[in-house]
Structure 1
Amino acid sequence: MDDLTALREFEADVPALTDEARFAARDRLRRAIREERSPGRLSRRLVFRLAVAGTAAAAVAGGAVVVAGREGDTDAPRMTPLSAAQLLRRAAGRSRSAARGLPIPRNDQYLYTKTYITRTYVKGARTRTWTDESWLSVDGSKPSWREEYGKIHHDPPLGRHEVRWPPTEYAKLAKWPTDPDTLLKRLMMTGDDSPEADGMAFMNACMLMMGPRVMPPGLEAATFEAVAKIPGIGLDYHDVDALGRHGIGVSYPRVTFSFVFDPRTYAYLGLRLKGSSAKKINGEWRQVGWYHEMRGLEEAGVVDRIGLRP
């Protein structure tokens, strides 16, 4: 079967390209042309691959995360829709691969994080951005330096009876289970499997990923696998992360947080949330100034003292 025939059959069951997807495909084609060793001459295989990528973008826009695969001995690609649970499990596999080689910190070291935040207000579409850096004591025994929406906090060492939940200290997170079923129970914070417990588990998983914190090996992947077990999770399309990258969101009904992943690589891009500010009006506190916020962990590592970067 020739490439053009394969492309026509592949495209038959896929929605037509949107203007946005067509523009993105053309942009990829232009970049590929510049990268070719012989400018102006593309191989038939490259043209076919780019056309498939553009059609896949239309399929995502049409309502499903898709993965190209092969069926039998034919050369025609096959598109397989992914559910939210399948997307999370693939993200877990990506997380395990990406985490290899990260150093295990000592208790006397600091965890460095750099988080990029964008907040767009519903009224007026005004946007604010922050780049927050933090140095957290691994075991909480030393002072930490934390930035939150541009405001600096000098956190004292944690007291013996002081509790943060979810914890930010690596030493405490290292004791958390990496078995998805056991972790899900901890995130539920209850002994039942009610919808309220499911919503609580999803919200707590988002709070666990919110940071600033660095995950011990396997905990991030286990978090995604635990969330995959929650009934009712769904996919949100056309999400954009804090750095402007297009992603696919995973959400739960009536929870204002959602995870955002790269639709091609399944890399975790960050958290999206809807929030508001509280203002006292006529003696009553009311929620005003609604906004959409996106948080993305841009960099993380282990350093020996506050002020150093990986």
Structure 2
Amino acid sequence: MDELTMVRGWEADERGLSDAARVAARARLGAAMVEESRSGASRGRAPSRRLVFRTALVGVTAAAVGVTVVVAQDAKDDHKPRLGAIGATEVLQKAADRSRAAGNDLPVPRNDQYFYTRTYITQTPVEGGKTRTWTDESWMSVDGSKPSLRQEHGKIHHDPPLGKHEVRWPPTIYSKLKAIPTDPDNLLARFRMGQPSSPDNDKYAFFEGCMLLMGPRVMPPGLQAAAFEALAKLPRIRLDYDDVDVAGRTAVGVSYPTMEWTFLFDRKTYDYLGLRTRGSSPKKVHGEWKQVNYYYETRSLQDIQVVDRIGQHG
């Protein structure tokens, strides 16, 4: 199972995005994230999620309207003590083994069906304070050809079908997911877009892995495990010391430097539990808009079903 959100591509080719198109799209995404973060902060609003993270996964967007998700980690936080890269590698390998052992009992979805999800969300201020919680239910069209209903932080949103020149990446259509390699080395090469290992290329590989593992989709056999094994090969991945509670289960986090997305796994079983992000909200301080009220948000997919219509629960 997988969590959170994904980006829509810029090409609507039946074959999906080519490597060249994905490289260009990712570059445009990165530039858009930087530009929108700057301009959004100056105007006192969040980056445009339609431009940066146009919601394609029902009920699992990274932030609500008026809230900015922090993707780049503050430099001072990069010096927090960590457990070491070998520990993160071992956790991801164990998570891969667990994924293969658990299997998947969901049916292969038809393109005209929906993913029903129930997601448990907690939001806790970084400096301490009351934790807010939500349980959101959503229905997302499998191939994007139908309207979707998305609940986010308790609020209902009606998402239109994908436009003529919009596609989802990574895909949610099963046949397209089956075309993704399940060999970890080949998958990592795809995540890196064929580029050699470097801090920047590996950061984007981690990002590509996040996109594949986030949000509701039915994974073909071995694909989720291969994704964990591919990410385990990144040289700078790390474990967090922080103890994170995910719906009553203590989790260990795996992250990448300068990325504020952390995969969460059960400390005992290595089940994939969800994802934690660090976010903030804009506020005018002495006449200038600044990001304040930092918080950690954790999302855990409690249920996913393949259904025929909005409102059906499986």
TM range (shorter): 0.5 to 0.7
Counterpart Cα distance in 2 of 1:219 and 1:160: 28
Query: Which residue number in structure 1 is paired with residue 243 of structure 2?
Result: 239
Please say if 1:299 is aligned against 2:303: yes
Structure 1 residues 175 and 159, CA gap change in structure 2 (3 angstroms): farther
Structure 1 residues 306 and 182, CA gap change in structure 2 (3 angstroms): same
Is contact 2:108–2:218 with CA below 8 Å preserved after alignment? no
Counterpart Cα distance in 2 of 1:234 and 1:288: 26
Q: In terms of Rg, which structure is larger?
A: 1
Is contact 2:119–2:302 with CA below 8 Å preserved after alignment? yes
Query: Which residue number in structure 1 is paired with residue 13 of structure 2?
Result: none
The more displaced of 173-182 and 292-301 is 173-182
Is contact 2:83–2:238 with CA below 8 Å preserved after alignment? no
The answer to which structure has the higher helix fraction is 1
Residue identity in the other structure for 1:301: Q
Query: Which residue number in structure 1 is paired with residue 228 of structure 2?
Result: 224
Is contact 2:109–2:218 with CA below 8 Å preserved after alignment? no
Query: Which residue number in structure 2 is paired with residue 274 of structure 1?
Result: 278
Is contact 1:113–1:214 with CA below 8 Å preserved after alignment? no
Counterpart Cα distance in 2 of 1:207 and 1:239: 24
Query: Which residue number in structure 1 is paired with residue 16 of structure 2?
Result: none
- Residues 100-151 of structure 1: CA distance to partner in whole angstroms, max 9, x if unpaired? 4321111121111111110001245221111122211111222211222222
Query: Which residue number in structure 2 is paired with residue 92 of structure 1?
Result: 96
- How many positions carry a matched residue from both structures? 232
Larger relative CO (CA 8 A, sep 6+): 1 or 2?
Answer: 2
- Alignment partner of 1:188 out of 192, 217, 235: 192
Query: Which residue number in structure 1 is paired with residue 206 of structure 2?
Result: 202
Counterpart Cα distance in 2 of 1:279 and 1:168: 37
Residue identity in the other structure for 1:235: L
Structure 1 residues 174 and 284, CA gap change in structure 2 (3 angstroms): farther
The residue correspondences of 1:1-310 to structure 2 (distance < 5 A) are 83-170=87-174, 172-189=176-193, 191-281=195-285, 284-310=288-314
Counterpart Cα distance in 1 of 2:289 and 2:168: 27
Structure 1 residues 149 and 253, CA gap change in structure 2 (3 angstroms): same
- Residues 18-39 of structure 1: CA distance to partner in whole angstroms, max 9, x if unpaired? xxxxxxxxxxxxxxxxxxxxxx
Is contact 1:241–1:272 with CA below 8 Å preserved after alignment? no
Residue identity in the other structure for 2:123: R
Is contact 1:139–1:170 with CA below 8 Å preserved after alignment? no
Counterpart Cα distance in 2 of 1:136 and 1:191: 33
Query: Which residue number in structure 1 is paired with residue 74 of structure 2?
Result: none
Counterpart Cα distance in 2 of 1:139 and 1:91: 28
The more displaced of 112-121 and 131-140 is 131-140
List gaps (5 residues or longer) in structure 1. Answer: 1-62, 66-81
SS at structure 2 position matched to 1:289: strand
SS at structure 2 position matched to 1:192: coil
Structure 1 residues 236 and 229, CA gap change in structure 2 (3 angstroms): same
- Residues 280-307 of structure 1: CA distance to partner in whole angstroms, max 9, x if unpaired? 4456442111001111111112111111
Structure 1 residues 272 and 226, CA gap change in structure 2 (3 angstroms): same
List gaps (5 residues or longer) in structure 2. Answer: 1-81
Aligned-residue CA RMSD (Å): 2.5
Counterpart Cα distance in 2 of 1:297 and 1:251: 19
Aligned-pair distance for 1:275?
Answer: 1.5
Structure 1 residues 139 and 306, CA gap change in structure 2 (3 angstroms): same
- Residues 167-201 of structure 1: CA distance to partner in whole angstroms, max 9, x if unpaired? 45555434333222232233334623211111122
Counterpart Cα distance in 1 of 2:164 and 2:158: 18
Aligned-pair distance for 1:237?
Answer: 3.4
Counterpart Cα distance in 1 of 2:302 and 2:162: 26
Is contact 2:108–2:174 with CA below 8 Å preserved after alignment? no
Aligned-pair distance for 1:92?
Answer: 1.0
Is contact 1:92–1:220 with CA below 8 Å preserved after alignment? yes
Is contact 1:140–1:169 with CA below 8 Å preserved after alignment? no
Structure 1 residues 115 and 64, CA gap change in structure 2 (3 angstroms): same
Identity among equivalent positions (%) equals 62
Counterpart Cα distance in 2 of 1:160 and 1:138: 16
